[in-house]
Structure 1
Amino acid sequence: MTKLTRESLVNRLFNDPKNYPYGFSRSGDFSINESKALSQYGALIAALVDGEISPSTPEDESFLASAFGKQDPKSIAEKAWLKYQKRINRPKMGSIYGSHKASVDIDSESTDEDDDIPIELDDE
């Protein structure tokens, strides 16, 4: 297994085919600059947050501090990462009808004969 380095992670494009199958730029959630920054620095920030590599530069320290909420995001990459995390971790919307589709039985819907209106047809 190859050892992860900061340079290899910065050169690796970050993508998320599960949540963004057509890419960040085509999702409509991110601006052009945010999608570029997320693609470029996303793999590095993910590795830092997961603890796969240790921070080696002040920029890495800033990534970690903003990702964990210790400071406000300063760079476009930090803002894009927080926006990405907010989007993928948002609660799933439920249905007001529950987990099953509501089925309506047309025959049992109205059995009252008072609702029937007679229609007269002219034979002329």
Structure 2
Amino acid sequence: MATMNRDLITKKAFNDFKNYPYGFARSGDFSIRESDLLAKHGSLIAALMSGEIEPESAEEQSLLAVARGEKAAETVVEKAWSKYQARINRPKVGSMYGRSRYTDDVFEVTSSDDDDLVVED
């Protein structure tokens, strides 16, 4: 049963429709080779990380260690997965204006003589 599960997982193409709705190749974040590697090996790495399957070889143990951040990426598959993780976990860009729009009272000008700017040469 576990072998059949492993076979199904390794044959299934990996997609992340939440972060890459049009696919890895069309995102502009990855090269063609990296997007192919993610589609081919991503399901296996995701299953290893979630604990659905156990690593059977030294290569799979190395993939799992890189995915957990315990070791630096060495192979092209590990580098592609590390790049994918860095892209989906990057901080979100916020608005430079804050959370809400400005109100009119923020832009009110007071008419006091103490606030005049004097520039001397």
**TM-score, with normalisation over the residues of structure 2?**
0.77
User: Aligned to 1:5, what secondary structure does the other structure show?
Assistant: helix
Partner letter of residue 70 of structure 2? K
Instruction: Supply the AA of the counterpart residue of 1:75.
Output: T
- What amino acid maps onto 1:97 in structure 2? Y
Instruction: Provide the residue aligned with 1:94 in structure 2.
Output: 94
The structure that has the greater radius of gyration is: 1
Q: Paired residue for 1:68?
A: 68
Segments of structure 2 that go 5 or more residues without pairing to the other structure are: 110-121
Q: State the alpha-carbon separation in 2 of the partners of residues 80 and 65 from structure 1.
A: 14
Give CA-to-partner distance per residue, 1:75-113, whole Å, 9 cap, x none.
2211111111111111111112111233669xx979xxx
Sequence identity (%): 52
CA RMSD in angstroms, aligned pairs only? 2.3
**Cα separation, 1, equivalents of 2:33 and 2:63:** 17
Amino acid at match of 2:15: N
Task: Tell me, yes or no, if structure 1 residue 24 matches structure 2 residue 24.
Answer: yes
Structure 2: distance between partners of 1:104 and 1:83:
44
- Cα distance between partner residues in 2 of 1:14 and 1:40: 7
Q: What SS is found at the alignment partner of 1:82?
A: helix
Partner AA of 1:90 in structure 2: R
Q: How does 1:12-51 map to 2 (within 5 A)?
A: 12-51=12-51
What TM-score do you get using the length of structure 1 for normalisation?
0.75
The separation in 1 between residues aligned to 2:95 and 2:62, in whole angstroms, is 40
Instruction: State the number of aligned residues.
Output: 108
Question: In the alignment, which residue of structure 1 is the partner of 2:117?
Answer: none
Q: Secondary structure at the match of 1:94?
A: coil
